[in-house]
Amino acid sequence: MDHLRQAPSLLRLSLGIAFMAVLAAGCSAQTGIFAAGSKNLYLHCEGKRNGPVVVLDAGLFRDSTDWREVQPKIAQFTQACSYDREGLGKSVVDKGAKPEAECIDEQVEDLKRLLSTAGIRPPYVMVGHSAGGVRIRRFTRDHTSDVAGLVFVDSAHEEQIWRFKLIDPSSVQGPPEDPVKARCGGSLPEVGEHLVWHHDLPLIVLEHGVPLSFEGPLAAHTAEFNRALDSMERDLASRSSRGELRIARKSGHDIMLEEPLVVVQAVRDVWREAGGSGH
């Protein structure tokens, strides 16, 4: 009779162990909605940590799905995490959220809190596409000891607004026309205002190889805009004594979608130089 009385207890114990295993698996995946201060943001991580974790930051009004061709390949040699900012992708948990309404400093702290809540500890190799490049530079400035390396994927530049306006004043419209809003987004809007940022970290800048096209009256200045973009990408590569510029010959602005292996190789190279090993 004792074995009959013990059966329910054993069953409960087995179910409890199974439940704990599911929880453990869920935690190790580190994918889902996590608290980031007062917000709840979506984080998606793949792979097993092996040295620095790779953190992928998408461009303006873009979300974690931009990294779908890149993230699984990075996950073959270390943990890779992408995320959705407030009001974007799967982070739309607050119906009142206005995508990209917050200032860059708030976005940086959101990311810092998100990684902390999810248990993704530094050091990080930060990867930023377009406006995400400005964000990871600000993250590196504010949390220097957390960052082991940087990859810029056709990154925006803090001086972009005034450099474009010198070519054609009509090229900048909307919120960037307001200096206060421009600074909120991380830009330096005044003519001659220069980025002051330097780190002796392993750093690779990936620049599009297919010239960008412009429409309407701006089309007349296509060559000038592309020269300005090239100049700014070269400037970013010079910001580290360990910096390098690489051209994605077959890509326009979205290098991570058009030539994902180029991005993966750059990330792997920076990751190795930042302390990653193997593979």
Write down the pLDDT at residue 97.
Answer: 78
For the chain, the distance separating the N- and C-terminal CA atoms, rounded to the nearest angstrom, is 57
- The answer to whether residue 64 sits within a structural domain is yes
What domain range includes position 134? 30-273
Q: What's the pLDDT band for 101 if we cut at 50, 70, 90?
A: confident
- The answer to whether residue 203 sits within a structural domain is yes
Instruction: Determine which of 21-25, 66-70, 168-172 has the lowest per-residue pLDDT on average.
Output: 21-25
- The answer to whether residue 4 sits within a structural domain is no
Count of CB atoms situated within 10 Å of the CB of 57: 28
Q: What's the pLDDT band for 19 if we cut at 50, 70, 90?
A: very low
Write down the pLDDT at residue 9.
Answer: 37
Upper half-sphere CA count for residue 252 (Cβ side, 13 Å): 3
Burial class (CB within 10 angstroms; exposed 0-12, middle 13-18, buried 19+) of 18: exposed
Distant-in-sequence, close-in-space partners of 11: CB < 8 Å, separation ≥ 6: none
Residue 203 CA to residue 207 CA, distance in Å, equals 13
Report the percent of the chain where pLDDT is more than 90: 78
- The answer to whether residue 20 sits within a structural domain is no
Alpha-carbon distance values, 88 to 38, 40, 99 (Å): 16, 11, 6
Decide which of 20 and 165 is more confident. Answer: 165
| Over residues 189-200, mean pLDDT | 94
- The answer to whether residue 163 sits within a structural domain is yes
- The answer to whether residue 6 sits within a structural domain is no
Q: Say which CATH number the domain at 145 has.
A: 3.40.50.1820
DSSP three-state, residue 39: strand
Taking only the tens place, the pLDDT of each residue in 28-84 is 458 999 999 889 999 999 999 999 999 999 999 999 999 999 999 999 999 999 999
- The answer to whether residue 25 sits within a structural domain is no
Q: How many domains does the chain have?
A: 1
Taking only the tens place, the pLDDT of each residue in 229-255 is 999 999 999 999 999 999 999 999 999
Write down the pLDDT at residue 29.
Answer: 52
- The answer to whether residue 1 sits within a structural domain is no
Helices (H), the chain: 2-29, 71-74, 104-117, 131-142, 160-167, 179-184, 222-237, 255-258, 260-273
